[in-house]
Amino acid sequence: MIRKVDIAIIGAGPAGMFLAHLLHQHGRSVTVLEARDRDYVEGRVRAGVLEQSTIDVMARLELADRARAEGLRHLGVNLVMDGESFRIDLGEHTAGAGITVYGQQEVMHDLFEASITRGINVVFEAENVSLPNFSNSDRSSSAVCVRWQNGGKDEELECDFVIGCDGSHGVSQEYIPSTESRTYVETFPFAWLGILAEVPPASEELIYGSHAHGFTLASMRSPTRSRYYVQCAIGDSVDAWPDERVWNEVELRLGPSMSRHVTRGASFDKSITPLRSLVMDPMSYGRLFLAGDAAHIVPPTGAKGLNLAVSDVTVLAQALGEYFDTGSERALKAYSSVALARVWKAQRFCWWFTMLTHRNAQDSGYRQQLQRAEFDYLRSSTHQQQVFAENYVGLPLAGSIQ
């Protein structure tokens, strides 16, 4: 007998698991299909900066206690260019708003643990997920069939809607015809090399640095664990970046005043991530909806990836709730345009911040002078700092839970 649920979610990352909890809170039956095992998904080193709106959603889901107790609340951020530094007071410019440093690994742990307690069905190691009847599954049809394999056994269920939360390389995007959507892509000519080390942070707040050698970011995961990034070439390998080279570049790019508090130590995680932007429009087709990285990618400079995923699924959960409660498709039809309005604002900020802080050997002297002028203007203009602050802490969350 084929199982029936209201919604099938493909992908158990932040978008998929936040959505599962939101829908469960609304009384909907959900199955989440994840290609990897829990240890892999929970252990991925990803985002660490949460907007206040994300913390608010976690609180409404009764998942924020540990983030509030163990997360690091920041009301400011530091910027450095060629050794010259200044601080932007986020709280002053946003009526007390700030960000919370709490690693995605910890967020996923909280989501998974609560899913067990609440009986949310998460199927790990679900392979070869497919939607065999999707070509005929517009909203007038009765159900969508979802198939996969688990432990060598074929599985199948029927659902009213499928939500693709499986990232930019997942299967969900394949079911939206190219003739029915447009994909906007921007590829940046550099990458980030990131390390984790069991050393105290260089500062109580994040430091974004720009130097002739490139960008660097001094971040943290806890009072004893630090996360550092340095701009590198796209073709670089981690083997070309032994720890000593990373620390040398971090200190050089931060400049004397900021680097004096850097504590060196052996890294226990090291990876390289190319920077790119991607947006799919629309984020839906028939009974299939996309959310999070399946629909859009932002460069990590603005720390928006996880937060945009939460924004998407908050809007989508409300739209699905309205459909199941009243039969109205009004909110479902508006989902893509509502979500994309916030996505494009985040894209704008991340692009601007990336271009402000990164260096490219191919840039003309004119481009370099513009970058310097932009930095000086940000440092001297209260208005410009307010614009930065309100974007950095997060613009208002469309479709917020009432």
Indicate the DSSP class of residue 67: H
The separation between CA 176 and the C-alpha centre of its own chain, rounded to angstroms, equals 22
The separation between CA 321 and the C-alpha centre of its own chain, rounded to angstroms, equals 24
Strand duo 121-123 + 182-197: pairing: unpaired
Closest CA to 129 of 168, 176, 178, 162: 162
| Residue 88 CB-half CA count within 13 A | 32
User: In 302-329, where does DSSP find H-type helix?
Assistant: 305-326
Indicate the DSSP class of residue 238: G
Is 281:184 a contact under the CB 8 Å cutoff? yes
Is 171:130 a contact under the CB 8 Å cutoff? yes
C-alpha to C-alpha distance for 120 and 23, rounded to whole angstroms: 10
Q: Element (H or E) spanning 395, and its range?
A: none
Q: Which residues contact 1 (CB under 8 A, 6 or more apart)?
A: none
The separation between CA 121 and the C-alpha centre of its own chain, rounded to angstroms, equals 23
Which residues belong to the active site?
Answer: 74, 208, 300, 304, 392
Count Cβ atoms below 10 Å from residue 233 Cβ, excluding itself. 14
Q: Element (H or E) spanning 190, and its range?
A: strand 182-197
Is 398:342 a contact under the CB 8 Å cutoff? yes
